[in-house]
Amino acid sequence: MVDRPFYAEGLKFSCTRCSSCCRHESGFVYLSENDLSRLANEFKLDYTAFVETWCRWIPFTPGTERLSLKEKSNFDCIFWNNSCGVYNARPLQCRSFPFWGDHVLCSQKAWEAAGRDCPGINNGELHSREEIEGFIRQTEEEPVIEREVRK
Ligand code: SF4
């Protein structure tokens, strides 16, 4: 983490629930162990049943795959139903957006670019540097579930 990142004075963001990040375009919602536990609990399923019903494995690096939620044939998130159907148990990737350290927060330019697709960016509530770095830390502490691909 750099000493004085571009977000040192905080960043404005309030989700307008426009849903453009959850619908219409193909994407991956990767899950950590905590995400899986929360979601399986929400559906009263064990891990295996939840993964078989709601998840898919996405090729990552050669020989590895990462666990993601499925999406519908129209590319909406599998849990989209007029709004997020699992809002209180939504994965960290969704809860921490747009405070993604390896992507949106890597530069001011990347932040502004993300704002072209998300009307919540640069509007609404001011989030402090501490809060932002809390999301970055949590994402580092809760890695996405990954497995080796069997040959
Ligand atoms: S695109 Fe931004 S404002 Fe719209 S739902 Fe996603 S996070 Fe919220």
Q: Please give the Cα distance from 88 to 35 (Å, whole number).
A: 11
Q: Please give the Cα distance from 80 to 98 (Å, whole number).
A: 19
pTM: 0.92
Averaged pLDDT in 10-residue chunks for the chain of 151 residues: 87 94 93 98 97 98 97 96 94 97 95 97 98 97 95 69
Q: Please give the Cα distance from 90 to 87 (Å, whole number).
A: 5
Using alpha carbons, select from 135, 40, 48, 51 the residue that is nearest to residue 93. 135
Mutation test of ligand 1: which of 12, 15, 125, 135 has the most ligand atoms closer than 8 Å to its C-beta? 15
For tokens 């139903």, name the residue: 81
